[in-house]
A and B are shown apart, each in its own frame.
Chain A
Amino acid sequence: MGPYIKSNNKTSKIMIHLMIALIPIIIFSVYKNGYIPYSKGYVGFGGLLYPLFFILIGSLTSFLTETIYGLIFKNKDFIKNSYSIFPGLFLSLILPLNIPIIVLILGSFIASFVGKLIFGGFGKNVFNPALIGYIFIVASFPSLFTTNAYLNNYELDAISKATPLTNSSLVSGIGSYDELIKPYGSLSDFFIGTVPGSLGETSALLCVVAFVYLSIVGVIKWKIPITYISTVFIINFIISRLLGVGLYYPIFSILTGGLMFGSIFMATDPVTSPVTNVGQVLYGLFLGILTVLLRFTGVEGVATSILIMNMFVFTLDRIGAKSRFNLCNSLVSLFVSVVLIFVVGIYIASESRGESKDPDFEIISKELNGDITNYVVNQKGYGGNIKSSIDIKEGNIISFEVLNHHETANKYELIIDDNYIDKLINDSDVDTVSGATITSTALKKTVINVMEDYNE
């Protein structure tokens, strides 16, 4: 029975395009995490190739899992149509580089087995397989996801452990430009990708290039990343306006946390995303809302929200199918999502404003001696609490003495050499000391928090 002619579209061609789009990202990841540390002498030749090895192991594991399963339980067609390197490939691009290789293998196996095979194989899964593997690892080995997990040997030295970067759980509070961005470079560094992070997620630029390529060849559901990223930007823009922080904040929010990679490669996975236009738009909107909300509560935003929304794809497509005949069917859901965008933005802004208390700051004692108020406080530094004594007279700091600290000796020397504390007394908005960023930031925060308390 007909039709007796068919188009040139083929599933294999789509997968090849996807692979081509990933190649620049893979090359960049080897360059940044392998070649640069190698060229600066931090690692040997093995270290140069390690990122590639990491990616290969991930891809190979998922390939072997599905192929062996197919040989035992299914048939050759099943294997041919499974495209089994992708779960492991994607997983290796979003996990931190410094995890034990066995954890990657385990995650890759789970991604294929639980993420795809249990549902019946390719085309039948409900959840994004790579993210299933990812969430499994995050839940089973949370201690692996420290800041240092994402830093390669070169970055470990150069960036000297600044504020927890978080590739996965971003910024749960509102940070200043100095806290969020400066330690790692400038906003353009975040765009190009020369910042710490997992192999695939750092370069927003290459993700955008991939998106453009995939859109031109017509193999990507482009409405999803567009609405997803725009929603995250808009909500964070609302927050930034309400809190009076600069445009850097919403821009930063879309350049980190794996949003670019997740929205362009994970949310657009055809099997687990909606097929209708309205369904895709709603999917992107709700993904954006969920991501911002989850990030605010300190949980990983992108992977979790995609897995949650995977469960609702059926419902979204139902709304979308009905909307093809009559757009009014989708008005309610669109209205709800727009309202939520504003509600979430306003809620987060108000919560952050109220949170004037710095959790790393503690007032040990506050005494009034004549017209001098004396504060003895603790502020968390790199090695532990920095105990300081500050005297304030008539609104000005007249003395600042560090009573006790556990900072690294040579870092603290830089503080002394720089006369940093004296500078702080005169102007709390002084640049941090390079090479001792965490320590100097802690001292700066001490002054800011004490003044805030004094002025209340």
Chain B
Amino acid sequence: MKVKIPKNRLTEEKVTVYNKPKKVYIPLISGNDINITILVNKGEYVYKGSIVGKRKGNFRIPICSSVSGTVIGFEDRTCFNGEKVKCVAIENDFKEKIEIKSSVKKSINKYNKEEFLEKLRENGIIGMGGAGFPTYVKYESKKNNTLIVNAAECEPFVTADEKIALSKCEEILEAIDAIIEINNMKEAIIAIEKDNIALKNLFDNYVGTYLKIKVVQVPNFYSVGWERTLVKEITGKEYDKLPSEKGIIVNNISTIYAIYEALKYNKPLIERIITFSGDLDHPRDILVKIGTPVKEVIEELGVRGNVIIAGGPMMGVKVLDDLVISANQNCVLNLNYSFTKESPCINCGRCVSVCPAKLSPVLIMKNNKPYLDCSKCIDCGLCSYVCPAKINVREYVRKAKRGDE
């Protein structure tokens, strides 16, 4: 069963910029990995884009400073996953000084594959749609032939991806064209939601010059933005663990823009557009630097709600107001939330019929048996959303997932 969740409040049309944080706190976390080598000391001067830390292990992704200034220390701040993470605290000198590193090619299609991968890696490009997986790793394989650009944001309130697409359409198309040429791919498909007329019109204007790029509209139901569902909707294919099994790469559209900036300007991933919405007077999409404390941004927007949520309303986490921005966060919500009492489960089966991962949440809740494959759960929250008894079914599935490990 496909559930349509209303988009709810829409943000103001214009994207604004917040680039004056007095201090930034760069989270030392890449994806979900907090094993980061710290590469700066207290008191050291850093440029905008300087490397402050590097991920340990196989994925050698650097973490870069988003401002130029002095490192004043290391503090713990809350991050997109709701947990406290060690951050590099930098005092902004507002000079936006950058360091010239390696050179760039004027026509970004002219990079060869090795140079392409290296540019992605050294600029710290990670998946900005949620998981934060190092993007260059996805492109390492030679067997990819389709690129799906995910501009189908299905969580209510979130409009960040739409705004980057509207404002940077030409650049994004140029990047996509470069990617498929460098990696010898057959085609690229941009996925947008059916209701989104503005995006469709915009892409229709430009996409004609790019023969290998198609725009496909997907139906507007929740969890269509999930990788597995999107691949199935567009290509009809199903895969076991990764879309690369079928030669498909899925990238969030904000990630594509970050790739563009990396290839064109050697600019690392240090800022992004984030939706600030919910019960605010002025819900807006704002271009913020990574590490910006959310409190000072949100104060300007007229706070009316009682909780702050990192992420969307379905998959986001309630956080304290010391939240700082990371690269794979796309939304900050301020909502008036009150807890609804749970009543007994009537076994209606709605949670089973909506689960995109084909699980049976009510059975997991009542029995918690391993044969019910709870590890496939993607935390989308649909089971809790549809429950008539207002039971937080997702929590039981999460508990079962942890019990499995």
Q: Contacts A81-B344, A321-B372; is A4 near B309 (CB within 8 Å)?
A: yes
Q: Could you tell me if B347 and A271 are in contact, using CB atoms closer than 8 angstroms?
A: yes
Q: Could you tell me if A1 and B388 are in contact, using CB atoms closer than 8 angstroms?
A: no
Choose one: A122, A274, A325; the contact of B344 (CB below 8 Å).
A122
Q: Could you tell me if A2 and B317 are in contact, using CB atoms closer than 8 angstroms?
A: yes
Q: Could you tell me if A4 and B358 are in contact, using CB atoms closer than 8 angstroms?
A: no
Query: How far, in whole Å, are A325 and B372 apart by their CA atoms in the complex?
Result: 10
Residue of A nearest to B315 (CB): A2
Q: Could you tell me if A3 and B384 are in contact, using CB atoms closer than 8 angstroms?
A: yes
Nearest chain A CB to B18 CB, angstrom units: 24
Nearest chain B CB to A394 CB, angstrom units: 69
Inside 8 A of A294's CB, which chain B residues have their CB? none
Q: Contacts A3-B381, A4-B333, A123-B345; is A324 near B360 (CB within 8 Å)?
A: yes
| Chain B, 1-15, CB within 8 A of any chain A CB | 3, 5, 8
* Interface check B386, CB cutoff 8 A: yes
Q: Contacts A6-B384, A9-B387, A275-B352; is A325 near B392 (CB within 8 Å)?
A: no
* Interface check A320, CB cutoff 8 A: yes
Residue of B nearest to A9 (CB): B388
Query: How far, in whole Å, are A122 and B345 apart by their CA atoms in the complex?
Result: 8
| Chain A, 64-116, CB within 8 A of any chain B CB | 77, 80-81
| Chain B, 199-218, CB within 8 A of any chain A CB | none
Please tell me which stretch of B65-73, B165-173, B186-194, B335-343 contacts chain A, meaning at least 4 of its Cβ atoms lie within 8 angstroms of it.
B335-343
Q: Could you tell me if A2 and B346 are in contact, using CB atoms closer than 8 angstroms?
A: no
Inside 8 A of B130's CB, which chain A residues have their CB? none
* Interface check A160, CB cutoff 8 A: no
* Interface check B40, CB cutoff 8 A: no
| Chain B, 311-367, CB within 8 A of any chain A CB | 313-318, 333, 335, 337, 340-341, 343-350, 352-353, 358-360, 362-363
Q: Could you tell me if A275 and B346 are in contact, using CB atoms closer than 8 angstroms?
A: no
Nearest chain A CB to B323 CB, angstrom units: 15
Inside 8 A of A6's CB, which chain B residues have their CB? 340, 384-385, 387, 390
Q: Could you tell me if A5 and B344 are in contact, using CB atoms closer than 8 angstroms?
A: no
Nearest chain A CB to B345 CB, angstrom units: 5
Residue of A nearest to B386 (CB): A7
* Interface check A322, CB cutoff 8 A: yes
* Interface check A317, CB cutoff 8 A: yes
Residue of A nearest to B345 (CB): A123
Q: Could you tell me if B394 and A3 are in contact, using CB atoms closer than 8 angstroms?
A: yes
Inside 8 A of B372's CB, which chain A residues have their CB? 321
Q: Could you tell me if A4 and B335 are in contact, using CB atoms closer than 8 angstroms?
A: yes
* Interface check A13, CB cutoff 8 A: yes
Query: How far, in whole Å, are A77 and B344 apart by their CA atoms in the complex?
Result: 10
Q: Could you tell me if B363 and A271 are in contact, using CB atoms closer than 8 angstroms?
A: no
* Interface check B219, CB cutoff 8 A: no
Residue of B nearest to A273 (CB): B347
Nearest chain B CB to A328 CB, angstrom units: 14
Inside 8 A of B358's CB, which chain A residues have their CB? 324-325
| Chain A, 246-286, CB within 8 A of any chain B CB | 270-277
Inside 8 A of B335's CB, which chain A residues have their CB? 4
Choose one: A2, A270, A318; the contact of B316 (CB below 8 Å).
A2
Inside 8 A of A320's CB, which chain B residues have their CB? 360
Q: Contacts A6-B390, A7-B386; is A275 near B349 (CB within 8 Å)?
A: yes
Nearest chain A CB to B243 CB, angstrom units: 19
* Interface check B395, CB cutoff 8 A: yes
* Interface check A121, CB cutoff 8 A: yes
Most chain A CB neighbours (cut-off 10 Å) among B309, B359, B388, B392: B388
Inside 8 A of B8's CB, which chain A residues have their CB? 5
Q: Could you tell me if B344 and A124 are in contact, using CB atoms closer than 8 angstroms?
A: yes
Inside 8 A of A275's CB, which chain B residues have their CB? 347-349, 352, 360, 362-363
Query: How far, in whole Å, are A287 and B346 apart by their CA atoms in the complex?
Result: 21
| Chain A, 267-320, CB within 8 A of any chain B CB | 270-277, 317-318, 320
Nearest chain B CB to A129 CB, angstrom units: 13
Q: Could you tell me if B337 and A4 are in contact, using CB atoms closer than 8 angstroms?
A: yes
Nearest chain B CB to A40 CB, angstrom units: 43
Query: How far, in whole Å, are A219 and B350 apart by their CA atoms in the complex?
Result: 10
Q: Could you tell me if B313 and A14 are in contact, using CB atoms closer than 8 angstroms?
A: no
Inside 8 A of A2's CB, which chain B residues have their CB? 309, 313-318, 381, 384, 394
Query: How far, in whole Å, are A274 and B349 apart by their CA atoms in the complex?
Result: 8
Q: Could you tell me if A321 and B346 are in contact, using CB atoms closer than 8 angstroms?
A: no
Residue of A nearest to B354 (CB): A7
* Interface check B307, CB cutoff 8 A: yes
Interface band, chain B: 35 or more
Query: How far, in whole Å, are A333 and B133 apart by their CA atoms in the complex?
Result: 43
Query: How far, in whole Å, are A325 and B355 apart by their CA atoms in the complex?
Result: 12
* Interface check B156, CB cutoff 8 A: yes
| Chain A, 148-200, CB within 8 A of any chain B CB | none
Inside 8 A of B349's CB, which chain A residues have their CB? 221, 270, 274-276
Q: Could you tell me if A9 and B386 are in contact, using CB atoms closer than 8 angstroms?
A: yes
Query: How far, in whole Å, are A122 and B389 apart by their CA atoms in the complex?
Result: 12
Q: Could you tell me if A5 and B347 are in contact, using CB atoms closer than 8 angstroms?
A: no
Choose one: B314, B347, B373, B388; the contact of A3 (CB below 8 Å).
B314
Q: Could you tell me if B313 and A4 are in contact, using CB atoms closer than 8 angstroms?
A: yes
Nearest chain A CB to B318 CB, angstrom units: 7
Q: Could you tell me if B360 and A321 are in contact, using CB atoms closer than 8 angstroms?
A: yes
Q: Could you tell me if A10 and B388 are in contact, using CB atoms closer than 8 angstroms?
A: yes
Residue of B nearest to A321 (CB): B360
Query: How far, in whole Å, are A325 and B5 apart by their CA atoms in the complex?
Result: 25
Q: Could you tell me if B347 and A123 are in contact, using CB atoms closer than 8 angstroms?
A: yes
* Interface check A356, CB cutoff 8 A: no
Choose one: B309, B363, B388; the contact of A321 (CB below 8 Å).
B363
Query: How far, in whole Å, are A81 and B5 apart by their CA atoms in the complex?
Result: 27
Query: How far, in whole Å, are A14 and B344 apart by their CA atoms in the complex?
Result: 14
Nearest chain A CB to B84 CB, angstrom units: 17
Query: How far, in whole Å, are A317 and B359 apart by their CA atoms in the complex?
Result: 12
* Interface check A369, CB cutoff 8 A: no
Residue of B nearest to A274 (CB): B349
Inside 8 A of B373's CB, which chain A residues have their CB? 325
Q: Contacts A317-B360, A321-B363; is A5 near B156 (CB within 8 Å)?
A: yes
Query: How far, in whole Å, are A276 and B367 apart by their CA atoms in the complex?
Result: 15
Contact with A along B365-405 (1 / 0, CB 8 A): 00000011100000001001111111010110000000000
Nearest chain B CB to A120 CB, angstrom units: 9
Inside 8 A of A325's CB, which chain B residues have their CB? 358, 373
Inside 8 A of B363's CB, which chain A residues have their CB? 275-276, 317-318, 321
Q: Contacts A275-B360, A275-B363, A317-B363; is A1 near B318 (CB within 8 Å)?
A: yes
Inside 8 A of A124's CB, which chain B residues have their CB? 344
Most chain A CB neighbours (cut-off 10 Å) among B316, B344, B392: B344
Inside 8 A of A317's CB, which chain B residues have their CB? 360, 363
* Interface check A455, CB cutoff 8 A: no
Query: How far, in whole Å, are A10 and B391 apart by their CA atoms in the complex?
Result: 11
| Chain B, 72-113, CB within 8 A of any chain A CB | none
Q: Can you spell out 8 A-B residue pairs with CB atoms less than 8 angstroms apart?
A: A2-B384, A4-B313, A9-B387, A121-B344, A271-B347, A317-B363, A321-B371, A322-B371
New contact pairs (10) apart from A5-B8, A318-B363, CB-CB < 8 Å: A1-B317, A3-B394, A10-B388, A11-B346, A77-B343, A122-B344, A221-B349, A270-B348, A317-B360, A317-B363
Shortest 5 CB-CB contacts between residues of A and residues of B: A123-B344, A275-B349, A3-B381, A9-B388, A321-B360
